[in-house]
A and B are shown apart, each in its own frame.
Chain A
C-alpha cells in the first residue's frame, strides 16, 4: 500500500532555496504540501498556522485523500468553528520528513531519481518550523496571528515562539511538552525497532520493491496507540471482553476486543503512512528539547518571546505529555514575563483528548484566538 500512498497528488510548492538543517546538512530545495482555508485579508494579518502531530497531515479540515475520512481537526476548524475560517486564513502544512507531499525519505534523489530512503538527512522540530517559515515567506505572510498545535504540533508552536517570536502574535500549545522525556524516547525506540526489524524494511529502500515493512509499521502504531489512550478509557471501551467469541481460544488469535482493535488500528495505519517517515519524525521528536541550547534553562528559549501570548492546555488523563510538562513551560514563561494562560482540563481520552470532543477546549482555543465561542 505504501506505493499507492505515494501516488496521491497533493497541493504543494517547491521552494528552490537551500534549507539549512540542525544536523549541519542542508536540503538543496524543499517541497512543502499544504492546505489552506478561509480568505487571507488585505493586510495579511489574519493567518493562523496549524501544526499537525506525528502521524497527522495537512488535511486538517478536509477529507483525507487516502482514507476518505473527515479532516483530523474538522471539529475545531471551519466556518463558525473555534478556529473560524470566516475570520482566519488557516494554513496547515505537511511537516518536513513526512509522507503527504512534503520533502521526506520518499523524495527522489535529484540526481538518480531513486527515493532517498535513509539518505534523507535526520531532521528536527526546528527544521520543520524553518521549512514552514520558508512556506510563509513564499506566500508573502510575514506575521502569523497565531500558531496552534497539539502534541508534536505543540512542540512546533513552541519552536515558532522560540525561533521566530517576532513573527507570531499568539501560540496555542495543547497536550505537549518542551522536551521529550526518557519514557517518550523509549516508546519511540520500540516503534522504530519494530520497523527496522521487519525484513521488508530492506534498510529503508523498499519503495521500488513489492514489499514494504507494513508489519513493523503496524506494530509501531499499535504500541504508540496505547500511549495515546488512558487506562480507564481502554477499560471502559474494551474491558476484558472477548472478540466475536464466547470462550477463550487457548491460542494466539485476537481473543480480546482490545487486541482486535489494536491490530485493526495498526493495519489501517499502514494504508496512510510511510514507515521511513515514521522513523524520521519520531527521531525529530526525540531530539526535541527547547532548553538544550540554553544550558538546560527553558526560560532561555523564551527571552525574546515576551510579547507572544501563550495558551497551554493539558489533560488530566494524558500520561504521555503529562500536566507537569505544561507547568514547566508555564513557569519558564512567567519567569520571562510573557503573558501565559494554562489550564489542565478533565477528559477521559488520554493524550488523544486534544482531537476529541472536549467542549472546554473549543472555548479556550476560540478565546486564545481572540473570539468568542
Chain B
C-alpha cells in the first residue's frame, strides 16, 4: 500500500542510516517504510492495539503518551524525531516541540492547517466549527484540542528561535507554494532544527 502523501514526504527526507523516533507511530506504517530504506526507526504510540500491530510487524514500539513519556528518552537519542498529525492533539504543543528537539537535533512536524480556505469559509458562513476531510470529527469529540494554522506555527518557531530547514505544503495530495500555504495548504510538514 502506498504511504500517505505526508508520510511519503517525510520518508523521502530521512537519510539512510539515521536513527529516528516516530512519535504517534500508529501501527508502524511509516516505520516500515523507513526500515526498508535502512533507517533505525523506533516508535511511541498511545493505542495498545496499534502498538501490538507494530510489534507483530517486528518493530520496536513503546506504548506511551507524547504528553508525558518523551521525558524518558535521553538528550540526542535520535537524529530525527517525527510528529505526524499529532501536534494538535497534545496538551501543550510548545512543550512537546521542546521535547522533540531535546531528543533529536531535528524534527519533522506535520499538522492539518486550520486556516485552509475551506475551513475559513465554513467558519465565516456557517458559524460552526468546521468538519473537513482532514478534520473529520465534531468539536465535542475531536482529539484535536489545539487547532493550529501555518502562520501560528511559524510564529511559535520564530518566538522560540527554532529554525526551519524545509517545509512542504499539501493541498489534497498536491504540493502548494510557501507563499500561498496559509490559505491553500490543507496540510503542512515542517522539518525544524534546534535553536
Query: Is A261 close to B, CB under 8 A?
Result: no
B60: A residues at CB distance < 8 A: 309, 339-341
Complex Cα distance, B77 from A346, in Å, reads 30
Whether the pair B58, A334 counts as a contact (CB closer than 8 A) is no
> What distance in Å separates the Cβ of A214 from its nearest Cβ neighbour in chain B?
42
Whether the pair B52, A334 counts as a contact (CB closer than 8 A) is no
Identity of the chain B residue whose Cβ is nearest the Cβ of A370 in the assembled complex: B58
Given A309-B60, A346-B48, A334 and B73 contact (CB-CB distance below 8 Å): yes
**In-complex Cβ contact of B51 among A343, A366, A368 (8 A):** A343
Whether the pair B72, A335 counts as a contact (CB closer than 8 A) is yes
Identity of the chain A residue whose Cβ is nearest the Cβ of B78 in the assembled complex: A337
Given A340-B60, A343-B63, A345-B48, A367 and B55 contact (CB-CB distance below 8 Å): yes
Identity of the chain A residue whose Cβ is nearest the Cβ of B40 in the assembled complex: A339
Whether the pair B42, A339 counts as a contact (CB closer than 8 A) is yes
Identity of the chain A residue whose Cβ is nearest the Cβ of B21 in the assembled complex: A334
Complex Cα distance, B99 from A96, in Å, reads 46
Query: Is A26 close to B, CB under 8 A?
Result: no
Query: Is A16 close to B, CB under 8 A?
Result: no
A76: B residues at CB distance < 8 A: none
Given A309-B60, A341-B62, A345-B48, A335 and B55 contact (CB-CB distance below 8 Å): no
A residues 337-373 touching B (CB-CB < 8 Å): 337, 339-346, 360, 363-364, 366-368, 370, 372-373
Q: What mask results when residues 46 to 63 of chain B are scored 1 for a CB within 8 Å of chain A, else 0? A: 001101111111111111
Identity of the chain B residue whose Cβ is nearest the Cβ of A359 in the assembled complex: B52
Whether the pair A342, B74 counts as a contact (CB closer than 8 A) is no
Whether the pair A367, B57 counts as a contact (CB closer than 8 A) is yes
Chain A interface size, as a band, is 20 to 34
A366: B residues at CB distance < 8 A: 56
Whether the pair B74, A364 counts as a contact (CB closer than 8 A) is no
Complex Cα distance, B60 from A330, in Å, reads 12
Identity of the chain A residue whose Cβ is nearest the Cβ of B73 in the assembled complex: A334
Query: Is A311 close to B, CB under 8 A?
Result: yes
Whether the pair A341, B72 counts as a contact (CB closer than 8 A) is no
> What distance in Å separates the Cβ of B50 from its nearest Cβ neighbour in chain A?
9
Q: What mask results when residues 245 to 266 of chain A are scored 1 for a CB within 8 Å of chain B, else 0? A: 0000000000000000000000
Most-contacted residue by chain B among A331, A363, A367 (CB, 10 A): A367
- State the interface size on chain B (CB cutoff 8 A): 22
> What distance in Å separates the Cβ of A129 from its nearest Cβ neighbour in chain B?
24
Complex Cα distance, B54 from A363, in Å, reads 10
Whether the pair B56, A334 counts as a contact (CB closer than 8 A) is no
Whether the pair B48, A343 counts as a contact (CB closer than 8 A) is yes
A346: B residues at CB distance < 8 A: 48
A372: B residues at CB distance < 8 A: 56
Whether the pair B56, A340 counts as a contact (CB closer than 8 A) is no
A residues 311-339 touching B (CB-CB < 8 Å): 311, 330-331, 334-335, 337, 339
B40: A residues at CB distance < 8 A: 339
Whether the pair B72, A343 counts as a contact (CB closer than 8 A) is no
A373: B residues at CB distance < 8 A: 56
Whether the pair A331, B72 counts as a contact (CB closer than 8 A) is yes
> What distance in Å separates the Cβ of B99 from its nearest Cβ neighbour in chain A?
13
Whether the pair A341, B77 counts as a contact (CB closer than 8 A) is no
> What distance in Å separates the Cβ of B68 from its nearest Cβ neighbour in chain A?
11
Complex Cα distance, B56 from A2, in Å, reads 43
Whether the pair B52, A344 counts as a contact (CB closer than 8 A) is no
Identity of the chain A residue whose Cβ is nearest the Cβ of B62 in the assembled complex: A342
Identity of the chain A residue whose Cβ is nearest the Cβ of B42 in the assembled complex: A339
B77: A residues at CB distance < 8 A: 334, 337
**In-complex Cβ contact of B62 among A334, A345, A368 (8 A):** A334
Q: What mask results when residues 288 to 318 of chain A are scored 1 for a CB within 8 Å of chain B, else 0? A: 0000000000000000000001010000000
Complex Cα distance, B48 from A345, in Å, reads 7
Complex Cα distance, B70 from A128, in Å, reads 36
Complex Cα distance, B58 from A344, in Å, reads 17
Whether the pair B62, A337 counts as a contact (CB closer than 8 A) is no
Q: What mask results when residues 42 to 65 of chain A are scored 1 for a CB within 8 Å of chain B, else 0? A: 000000000000000000000000
Whether the pair B58, A364 counts as a contact (CB closer than 8 A) is no
Given A330-B62, A343-B63, A346-B48, A337 and B56 contact (CB-CB distance below 8 Å): no
Whether the pair B55, A311 counts as a contact (CB closer than 8 A) is yes
> What distance in Å separates the Cβ of B64 from its nearest Cβ neighbour in chain A?
8
Whether the pair A367, B48 counts as a contact (CB closer than 8 A) is no
Identity of the chain A residue whose Cβ is nearest the Cβ of B53 in the assembled complex: A363
Complex Cα distance, B64 from A372, in Å, reads 24
> What distance in Å separates the Cβ of B4 from its nearest Cβ neighbour in chain A?
23
Chain A to chain B contacts (Cβ below 8 Å), 7 pairs: A337-B74, A341-B51, A343-B61, A346-B48, A360-B49, A363-B52, A363-B53
**A-B contacts besides A367-B57, A367-B59, 11 pairs, CB < 8 Å:** A330-B72, A331-B72, A334-B73, A335-B74, A341-B51, A341-B59, A344-B48, A345-B48, A360-B49, A363-B52, A364-B52
Give the B-binding residues of A (Cβ under 8 A).
309, 311, 330-331, 334-335, 337, 339-346, 360, 363-364, 366-368, 370, 372-373
Give the A-binding residues of B (Cβ under 8 A).
40, 42, 48-49, 51-64, 72-74, 77
The 8 closest A-B CB pairs, nearest first, are A367-B56, A363-B56, A339-B60, A343-B51, A331-B72, A342-B62, A343-B63, A360-B52
